[in-house]
Structure 1
Amino acid sequence: MGKYNVAIAGATGVVGQKMIEVLEESNIAVDNFYPMASSRSAGKKVTFRGKEYTVEELNEHSFDKDIDFALFSAGGGTSKKFAPIAAKNNVVVIDNSSQWRMDDEVPLVVPEVNPKDALKTKGIIANPNCSTIQAMVVLKPLHDAYKIKRVIYSTYQAVAGSGIKGIKDLEEGVKGGKNEFYPVQIAYNCLPHIDDFTENGYTKEELKMVNETHKILGDYDIKVTATTVRVPVFVGHSESINLEFEKPFDVDEARELLKNAPGVIVKDDISVPEYPTVLDAAGNDEVYVGRIRRDFSVKSGMNLWCVGDNIRKGAASNTVQIAEYLIKENFFGKEN
């Protein structure tokens, strides 16, 4: 394989730092590495593969140099402004914000689910919402086998999904301090409120799961609803997913399908009892699934529980995996 020039925009944030770590662990041969951030963070030092780098200020000229791909985790407004500039300079942007996800011209990609969509990029590829990513890895093999008719998501999402402000609120809250970011105390509490509320009563996070499920699975006939909840956990999202299928299914067969699915680890033995928690997923890129059982209230229904590391698979690792797929497909034309 050839060597690649890589930028990370938002390199000093929670996800940006994890992107550096995951990129470091990957087999991608990096020639030149460019960490970028806002003017507030420019000048800070980051380390990548044993070498120290000074963080550059992200500006209109950041992508004038030769860069193959840029991993963005700098927020929607920043991405809206700078991703097109990078794309015009022949940089492939893999963006972690919500800015481009529902753009018809932009692929929305989970490598285990719809990797070929990444090859259709016109310069920008969107990374899905963290809670959607882990659900898609689990739902794809089930949808292929039984065709999903309806999905009901109930999520239990870690404060790391809110970045450093959410983490600090939980840290301070357990010490008896006041929260500054969440509208209600998060310590020892659950908040049925992630992102802003919309006119229909759903939050933006809930609508992301609805819309992104349709786009990634390529099936707009699936009925999808969601309730997303912030819980006092630092890292790792948990999801209770209720499915209704068009076709009949066998629970043991479904379990085997999931065991053989890429990026999935099944932990499901109630005799132990054995089921996955976010502590299993922490630091890993796989999505863990358990509590797989029939929902007897409908003709062909299933309940399951899945957990994932929202900072790794839900953000940083998914972006790096997209880059790895593009490299494998010789998208950059650097194959030796």
Structure 2
Amino acid sequence: MTPTRSSGPALAVVGATGAVGSVLLQMLSLRADVWGEIRLIASARSAGRMLAVRGEETEVIALTEDAFDGLGPGDIALFLTPADVSARWAPVVTTRGSVVIDLSAAFREDPEVPLVVPEVNGHAVRIRPRGIVAGPDCVTATMIAALGALHSEYSLCDLVVSSYQAASAAGRAGSEALRRQQSLVAGTSLGEQPGDVRRAVGEDTGPFAAPLALNVVPWSGELRADGWSSHELAVRAETRRILDLEQLPVSVTCVQVPVLTGHSLTVRARFEREVEAAHAREILEAAPGVVLVDDPEAGEFPTPVDAAGTDPAWVGRLRASLDDRHALEFFVCADNLRKGAALNATQIAELIAGEFA
């Protein structure tokens, strides 16, 4: 454990050894240092590992009640853990007076827990009756800064989204499954005949509903009523909460694609006011957390390859609808581990730390 510093709140990172945790620790070394102690917490099997934080080797400690000893009012714990882990341990932190920032689905629907993307509704972090702030799903986070900026000008009234989700959204297991499947199908003519890819991959589809290599899988989450997936309904609900549009019609189709890092979405947004594409470009160019790359004639538009390893959401293919003067269509992509998770959590933590400065 790193020694306690004399100033700044303590920051506990729970799930520090996971895919998002690794990115977050790198980020902490690059951003302004507002923290005193940074404490790394993970499952018992990861305890004892040494990880670099702010240029120092820091020991990972096991997730037990003792791991939170010394935390109190003004300190913060980031939970980068599955929902069941967050639900079990977040109250242990908040009873000590510390604030929890949770990236799982455990608290996203709780009306007493603000769901926050700082570029859109950063003010909401100040009202947290349970001492918890939630971050959205990485799909929602990919599009919401651009949508929020356009909504402020035109008033969003209908949304249709298709996601193209990277394997790393399923953590290390997702990335490893895709790499493993790619090695099984590399250098062959697989995919030319029905069943080729399934035979090569066998039953080892990893966390996905079907083989991902040489394929796209139109499913993410668990089955819900009328054929919707839990992930699709979550993106719908989160968008409504963050934009404070409880009745907003939202239709989402989630698709897994054979990309390691970087979620992409196609978006059709309809507004109460007529949309001028030129003015929409100006709005997005000025929007925090958004980069506009939109010159199809020159072959310039964003792809996950461009977004990987960067902080903004990249927007392109911006165009007014052919059939509706109130509608705008665009493509957006972002690094799902950074913009979709680690960056959002870090920004929330910095906002809260500023309250105690």
TM-score (norm 1): 0.95
Partner of 1:74: 81
Which of 217, 234, 256 is the aligned partner of 2:282? 256
Partner of 1:150: 158
Q: Is 1:226 equivalent to 2:252 in the alignment?
A: yes
Equivalent AA in structure 1 for residue 12 of structure 2: A
Partner of 2:113: 106
Q: Is 1:318 equivalent to 2:341 in the alignment?
A: no
Per-residue deviation, 1:296: 1.8
After superposition, the CA RMSD in angstroms is 1.4
Partner of 1:50: 55
Residues 133-186 of structure 1: per-residue CA shift (max 9 Å, x gap)? 121101011111111111001010100000111111110111116334123110
2: CA distance between counterparts of 1:303 and 1:228?
17
Residues 166-222 of structure 1: per-residue CA shift (max 9 Å, x gap)? 111110111116334123110011001111121221111101110001100001121
* Aligned partners of 2:28 and 2:54 also within 8 Å: no
Runs of 4+ that moved beyond 6 A: none
SS of 1:163 mapped into structure 2? helix
2: CA distance between counterparts of 1:297 and 1:60?
58
SS of 1:271 mapped into structure 2? helix
Alignment of 1:242-253 (within 5 A): 242-253=268-279
Alignment of 1:84-163 (within 5 A): 84-122=91-129, 123-163=131-171
* Aligned partners of 2:205 and 2:211 also within 8 Å: no
Per-residue deviation, 1:4: 2.2
Choose 1 or 2 for highest CA Rg. Answer: 2
SS of 2:268 mapped into structure 1? strand
Per-residue deviation, 1:60: 2.4
2: CA distance between counterparts of 1:270 and 1:50?
42
Partner of 2:238: 212
Q: Is 1:272 equivalent to 2:298 in the alignment?
A: yes
* Aligned partners of 2:159 and 2:267 also within 8 Å: yes
Identity, % of aligned pairs?
Answer: 36
Q: Is 1:63 equivalent to 2:68 in the alignment?
A: yes
Per-residue deviation, 1:61: 2.9
Q: Is 1:166 equivalent to 2:148 in the alignment?
A: no
SS of 1:215 mapped into structure 2? helix
Residues 91-150 of structure 1: per-residue CA shift (max 9 Å, x gap)? 111111010011000010000000010011231100100010121101011111111111
Partner of 2:39: 34
Partner of 2:319: 293
Per-residue deviation, 1:299: 4.3
Partner of 2:262: 236
Equivalent AA in structure 2 for residue 137 of structure 1: A
Q: Is 1:191 equivalent to 2:196 in the alignment?
A: no
Deviates more, 1:19-28 or 1:234-243: 19-28
Equivalent AA in structure 1 for residue 256 of structure 2: R
Residues 5-45 of structure 1: per-residue CA shift (max 9 Å, x gap)? 11100011101111111122111333212100111212222
Which of 5, 16, 19 is the aligned partner of 1:11? 16
**Unaligned stretches of 5+ residues in structure 2:** 1-5, 185-199
Would you tell me which structure has more helix in proportion to its own residues?
2
* Aligned partners of 1:63 and 1:91 also within 8 Å: no
SS of 1:265 mapped into structure 2? strand
Question: Alignment length, in residue pairs?
Answer: 331
Which of 17, 24, 47 is the aligned partner of 2:29? 24
Partner of 1:308: 334
**Unaligned stretches of 5+ residues in structure 1:** none
Deviates more, 1:24-33 or 1:50-59: 24-33
* Aligned partners of 1:44 and 1:54 also within 8 Å: yes
Residues 225-268 of structure 1: per-residue CA shift (max 9 Å, x gap)? 10010000000000000111111111100110010111110000
Deviates more, 1:72-81 or 1:178-187: 178-187
